[in-house]
Chains A and B, each alone.
Chain A
Amino acid sequence: MERTRWIFIGILALVVAIIGVSIGIGWLTKNNNASAGGLELERPQAITVRVLTALPVEPWVRSAAEQFNASNPMLEGVPIQVEILAMDGLTALGRWDRNEFGALEAGVDVANLTSAQEAALDDFPTVWIPDSRYLVELANASYKERLGRDVFLTDGQYRARPIAISLFTWGIYESRAKVLEAKYGEVSWRTIHDAAIAKGGWPELGGDGGWGYFKLVVPNPNKNAGGLAAMVAAAGEYYGRTDIGVADFTDPAFQTWLKELMGSVTDFSSASAYTAEDFALFGYSVGDGGQLLESDLLQNMQGILNRWDDPLKLYYPRYVTWFEFPFTIWVGPETSALEKNAALEFQKFLLAEEQQKAALVYGLRPANPNVPVDAIPESLFVKWSDRGVEPVVPRSDAMRNPDRDVLLALLRWFELNVAN
């Protein structure tokens, strides 16, 4: 009996010890979490990186995100998941400008948020990939006024970094391009303007009577950042320089010229944010040609051949607009340090050689200079080399990005003269 009693006491002691150790571990864990402070008061179960992505790079970024998520990435022992939200850059800018994502007002302490306020931040974007760096500058300017500080950084580890680039090129249906080349010798905003105002339409230019009049394709500046870029590029060629200001856009002679040009667009109402897709879907019936993003044109080339039996021909303009798709991390307190660092992990993934090569399949030029545009056989630059696509962009002048005043002046002019 004595031995039995000892065994019993031993077991009880063991139980007490186990309970004691467990309580100790639990207490320590709780205290460690509490000492982290801010939005990391409780260690998250997972980190979600919400990426607001411009439309031209969205298919590539979404595909990359799926691969990234499938690799079960972790940061400090916490799993990361990337969530993609497609939104045109200008539309996103409008929403930042009106603070529709719900950034906290200046002076609000994240530690004192109510649970409803915290919940409202659940969908706050961690990253914004707009079409162009100038959109980031405009959003920053807006928040500087509201909060007194930048919300997207231009230096440091969280600085905006381009993930791929593309430029605006002319895409013209080959049957029409031949007629234009025969008539004018080159494709430029000036010759397109002359074709657009030809009263007799295509027959006057030497084309088929059934084609109607020359129809230009330009994205709607209210729905697509490319529409604004097209108007800025047209102004650059009109004035013969890259730096365009508000005074240039308010010059009556230029406005008349631009209005004539825009008068050859058949339908701005149905021009969605996906202009190149529309261009392919409706073919030459809605547009003989237009200046669109090179990557969009390359992505839709096969569809055009499937449906219209008349391929596109690409021409590079003298004054070019580049989109560099900056990966821009929100640096405000609305997102945690863990989320910001997780965003950096995804950025690294996108800039790695494998994903930079994958971008070629979407007609995007790699941001990583070590990856040439013909790095893989599936590259659209290889596939459509006979359609006029150039691995190295011919000598050209890059347009300077418009500032906020130019942007507003252009949009108002468009509303008053074209959209209304």
Chain B
Amino acid sequence: MSERRSAANYQTWIIIGLALLIVACLCVGVVVWAGDALFGALPLPGRDEVKLPRSATADLTVAVSPGMAPTLNKLVETFNARGLKTPDNTPMVVRTLTLVPEEMVAQSLGQPAFQALAPDSSLWLSQIDRQWAAAQGAAEGDESVIPIGYRRFSNPVRYAVSPVVIAAWESVARELGWPERAVGWQDIQNKATADPNFKWNHPSTGHASGLLATLAEFYAGAGLTRGLTPEAATAQATLDYVRAVEATVRFYGEGEDAIVSRLAGEGRGFLDAFVTQEQLVIHWNQTQSGERLIALYPAEGTLWADHPLALLELGAPGETPLSDNQRRTYRALADYLTSPEAQQALLAAGYRPADMTLQLDAGNSPFLQNDAVDWRQPQTTLQIPDDSVVAVVQNVWWYTKRPTNVFLVVDTSGSMQGNKIDLTKLALHAFIDQIRGDRDQLGLIAFSTGVSVLRSMQPLDEAGREDMHNAVNRMSAEGNTALIDGVWEAYRLLQAQGDTEAINAIVVMTDGQENNSAHRMSELKEQWGAAQGPSVVIFTIAFGSNADEDVLRTMAEIGGGQYRRADETDIEELYKIISTYF
């Protein structure tokens, strides 16, 4: 009996246990279900995040001006290393793309390869704004509409500034009157026209510093300190003055970064003075030994490189619109660049940070106890004319700048067959289009087993330009590589022309080894040293990994120019860059 009872009890408890288990499970299920019905409105942690679409990219490409690129790249690296994520768990990744500001403007109005931009000055944003608004306003065609808010960009943030200065070696600065008196644009211009040994440089008008230097020449030429009009800028007396001053410029180039790399390579004798940002003077003195650079704040006034960061409002027909995640990445980057950590880094790099709580004359500031720069300067700025006048100045510059005679010397040997010759043609077309001065001349020489002068030096008027394009199109590749003979012929023709007023240059490119020239490198060097005619600069391009680098480097040294490397991805861009030197 007791065994039966015990078994019955045991069975009862099992049933009760099972029933309780079922009830518990049901209750949990029901509570969850009813709870959702009752309290579904309440936010649960992570609820919103789960609902967001996961596909939207958070990658952001920022176009950066060359001068700021080294500093900004480091900051972006630190930003990326933080591993920030958007609410839908997409990593925020920022990439940079170094572009000349003028190029940023052009690309921003089309379909750019970037979503944000960091030019060296708001001047460029203003140009984007105006051109975009004009296009949009014209499309609207309704005069009653309030014409505000048509913006191609949004959320501009200024993270650092630096005034444009004339950087001069200390001995040169003292000669010009520093520190006893303020030195101005006029002093530099007078010195350059009076002293043929004085070497100075400013970047092209595609950069803020180059634009300012040119503008200062126009003001001086027009006898004005403000209110420059298109009429005053194009008056013959103004153009004559600007032309005379521009004739003293040693060469044009990509920007401050290129000048600095050449200063570092070629030393003190390369230039006496150049136009750049104050930051570069600080950076040079921090990193280089020898004679100091001094920042001269132009007495007539200067301009600020104010380094804005702005987001492009993409979404026009045919464009991929910005994703919300990209906007989040932009905001996070802007926050980081204006954070105390980044602002301190910018100050350490020689910029004046946008955070006004940071004093320039205290702590570890590079401005402290440093008379090469002066945080109380500049006292005044030049008036920036409105965009239409700036455009006139930019265009007029092509007619007043120092004329250029350039020989393009191109390898058409058998190794160039196929894709290489096609890409070279595209690069040459781009180069031809970039040379826009009305007094500039171009010639074309091809070398393979022998040397062919495809076009002797000719002006680039409409017919000349078209003829040059046609000559490029007809080029074909075969034979050996008479590289030295090609350069020899170009040099001989430039000497024969004897144009001492112009910049005379040879741009030579090869993808292979010298193997068929009648002349030797030593003869070329001898010829260069013995020349009585105009000086000739050589830019050499090694296309691909098999190019004769030693020969090309030696040629660039002999010709006081530059040696550059290129591959199939950037040959066109390199030709464009070299064109800015003329």
Do B381 and A286 touch across chains, with their CB atoms under 8 A apart?
A: yes
Do A270 and B121 touch across chains, with their CB atoms under 8 A apart?
A: yes
A337 at the interface (CB under 8 A from B): no
A-B contact pairs, 26 of them (CB 8 A): A7-B12, A11-B16, A11-B23, A12-B19, A18-B30, A19-B30, A45-B43, A45-B47, A90-B146, A90-B149, A91-B148, A94-B149, A94-B150, A138-B146, A210-B299, A222-B148, A264-B226, A270-B123, A270-B306, A284-B379, A285-B377, A285-B379, A306-B358, A307-B375, A407-B146, A420-B387
- Which of A211-219, A234-242, A361-369, A375-383 touches B? A211-219
Binary CB contact string for chain A from 271 to 289 against chain B (1 if under 8 A, 0 otherwise) = 0100001001110111000
Chain B contacts with A in 127-180, Cβ cutoff 8 A: 140, 144-151, 156, 158, 161, 163
Binary CB contact string for chain B from 1 to 32 against chain A (1 if under 8 A, 0 otherwise) = 00000001001100110011011001100110
Chain B contacts with A in 327-385, Cβ cutoff 8 A: 352, 354, 356-360, 375-384
Contacts of A419 in B (CB 8 A): 386-387
A370 at the interface (CB under 8 A from B): no
Contacts of B31 in A (CB 8 A): 22
* Complex Cα–Cα for A415 and B133 (A): 12
Contacts known (A14-B23, A201-B225, A307-B360); A94 close to B379, Cβ less than 8 A:
no
Contacts of A19 in B (CB 8 A): 26, 30
Do B146 and A411 touch across chains, with their CB atoms under 8 A apart?
A: yes
Contacts known (A30-B37, A94-B149); A45 close to B299, Cβ less than 8 A:
no
Q: What is the CB-to-nearest-CB distance from A362 to chain B, in angstroms, rounded to a whole number?
A: 15
- Which of A95-103, A108-116, A126-134, A159-167 touches B? A95-103
A148 at the interface (CB under 8 A from B): no
Do A26 and B37 touch across chains, with their CB atoms under 8 A apart?
A: yes
Do A4 and B301 touch across chains, with their CB atoms under 8 A apart?
A: no
Count A-B pairs with CB separation below 8 Å: 188
Q: What is the CB-to-nearest-CB distance from B225 to chain A, in angstroms, rounded to a whole number?
A: 6
**Quick one: closest B residue to A225, CB to CB?**
B148
**Quick one: closest A residue to B226, CB to CB?**
A213
Contacts of B151 in A (CB 8 A): 91
Do B386 and A418 touch across chains, with their CB atoms under 8 A apart?
A: yes
B304 at the interface (CB under 8 A from A): yes
Do A281 and B354 touch across chains, with their CB atoms under 8 A apart?
A: yes
Do A213 and B376 touch across chains, with their CB atoms under 8 A apart?
A: no
* Complex Cα–Cα for A43 and B43 (A): 12
Do B226 and A98 touch across chains, with their CB atoms under 8 A apart?
A: no
Do A100 and B149 touch across chains, with their CB atoms under 8 A apart?
A: yes
Contacts of B257 in A (CB 8 A): none
Residue of B11, B15, B149, B384 most packed against chain A (CB within 10 A): B149
Do A79 and B122 touch across chains, with their CB atoms under 8 A apart?
A: no
Q: Which one, B47, B156, B163, contacts A285 given CB within 8 A?
A: B163
B56 at the interface (CB under 8 A from A): no
- Give the number of chain B interface residues (Cβ < 8 Å): 71
B182 at the interface (CB under 8 A from A): yes
B227 at the interface (CB under 8 A from A): yes
* Complex Cα–Cα for A286 and B354 (A): 16
Contacts of A212 in B (CB 8 A): 225, 300-301, 379-381
Q: Other than A22-B30, A78-B41, A213-B380, give 7 A-B pairs with Cβ distance below 8 A.
A: A8-B16, A11-B22, A222-B148, A265-B383, A266-B226, A270-B126, A270-B304
* Complex Cα–Cα for A160 and B513 (A): 79
B463 at the interface (CB under 8 A from A): no
**Quick one: closest B residue to A139, CB to CB?**
B146
Do A308 and B376 touch across chains, with their CB atoms under 8 A apart?
A: yes
A309 at the interface (CB under 8 A from B): yes
Do B356 and A306 touch across chains, with their CB atoms under 8 A apart?
A: yes
* Complex Cα–Cα for A280 and B225 (A): 23
A191 at the interface (CB under 8 A from B): no
Do B386 and A303 touch across chains, with their CB atoms under 8 A apart?
A: no
* Complex Cα–Cα for A270 and B303 (A): 11
Chain B contacts with A in 219-245, Cβ cutoff 8 A: 225-227
Q: What is the CB-to-nearest-CB distance from A309 to chain B, in angstroms, rounded to a whole number?
A: 6
Do A8 and B15 touch across chains, with their CB atoms under 8 A apart?
A: yes
Q: What is the CB-to-nearest-CB distance from B19 to chain A, in angstroms, rounded to a whole number?
A: 4
B194 at the interface (CB under 8 A from A): no
* Complex Cα–Cα for A300 and B378 (A): 19
Do A285 and B381 touch across chains, with their CB atoms under 8 A apart?
A: yes
A15 at the interface (CB under 8 A from B): yes
Contacts known (A270-B306, A272-B156, A285-B380); A7 close to B356, Cβ less than 8 A:
no
Residue of B146, B354, B388 most packed against chain A (CB within 10 A): B146
* Complex Cα–Cα for A326 and B384 (A): 36
A44 at the interface (CB under 8 A from B): yes
Q: What is the CB-to-nearest-CB distance from A365 to chain B, in angstroms, rounded to a whole number?
A: 23
**Interface of chain A, main secondary structure:** helix
* Complex Cα–Cα for A25 and B27 (A): 15
Q: Which one, B48, B225, B359, contacts A213 given CB within 8 A?
A: B225
A358 at the interface (CB under 8 A from B): no
Q: Which one, A18, A263, A267, A415, contacts B227 given CB within 8 A?
A: A263
Do A266 and B147 touch across chains, with their CB atoms under 8 A apart?
A: no
**Quick one: closest A residue to B380, CB to CB?**
A212
Do A29 and B146 touch across chains, with their CB atoms under 8 A apart?
A: no
Binary CB contact string for chain A from 1 to 44 against chain B (1 if under 8 A, 0 otherwise) = 10110011001101100110010011001100000000000011
- CB within 8 Å of A: which residues of B? 8, 11-12, 15-16, 19-20, 22-23, 26-27, 30-31, 33-34, 37-38, 40-43, 47-48, 121-123, 126, 140, 144-151, 156, 158, 161, 163, 182, 225-227, 299-302, 304, 306, 308, 352, 354, 356-360, 375-384, 386-388
Contacts known (A281-B161, A281-B356); A25 close to B38, Cβ less than 8 A:
yes
**Quick one: closest A residue to B161, CB to CB?**
A281
Do B356 and A26 touch across chains, with their CB atoms under 8 A apart?
A: no
Residue of B354, B382, B384 most packed against chain A (CB within 10 A): B384
Q: What is the CB-to-nearest-CB distance from B292 to chain A, in angstroms, rounded to a whole number?
A: 23
Contacts of B149 in A (CB 8 A): 90-95, 98, 100
* Complex Cα–Cα for A285 and B374 (A): 13
A71 at the interface (CB under 8 A from B): no
Do A411 and B147 touch across chains, with their CB atoms under 8 A apart?
A: yes
* Complex Cα–Cα for A163 and B31 (A): 46
Contacts of A269 in B (CB 8 A): 122-123, 126, 384, 386-387
* Complex Cα–Cα for A79 and B162 (A): 46
Do A306 and B158 touch across chains, with their CB atoms under 8 A apart?
A: no
Do B146 and A211 touch across chains, with their CB atoms under 8 A apart?
A: no
Contacts known (A201-B225, A272-B156); A267 close to B12, Cβ less than 8 A:
no
Do B304 and A282 touch across chains, with their CB atoms under 8 A apart?
A: yes
**Quick one: closest B residue to A299, CB to CB?**
B356
Do A300 and B123 touch across chains, with their CB atoms under 8 A apart?
A: no
Contacts of B22 in A (CB 8 A): 11, 15
Binary CB contact string for chain A from 58 to 101 against chain B (1 if under 8 A, 0 otherwise) = 00000000000000000001110000000000111111011010
Q: What is the CB-to-nearest-CB distance from B380 to chain A, in angstroms, rounded to a whole number?
A: 3
Do B147 and A94 touch across chains, with their CB atoms under 8 A apart?
A: yes
Contacts of B356 in A (CB 8 A): 277, 280-281, 300, 302-304, 306-307
* Complex Cα–Cα for A3 and B226 (A): 107
Contacts known (A18-B27, A285-B379); A266 close to B359, Cβ less than 8 A:
no
Contacts of B386 in A (CB 8 A): 268-269, 418-420
* Complex Cα–Cα for A45 and B381 (A): 55
Q: What is the CB-to-nearest-CB distance from A92 to chain B, in angstroms, rounded to a whole number?
A: 8
A121 at the interface (CB under 8 A from B): no
Do A266 and B381 touch across chains, with their CB atoms under 8 A apart?
A: yes
**Quick one: closest B residue to A272, CB to CB?**
B156
Q: What is the CB-to-nearest-CB distance from A197 to chain B, in angstroms, rounded to a whole number?
A: 11
Do A211 and B41 touch across chains, with their CB atoms under 8 A apart?
A: no
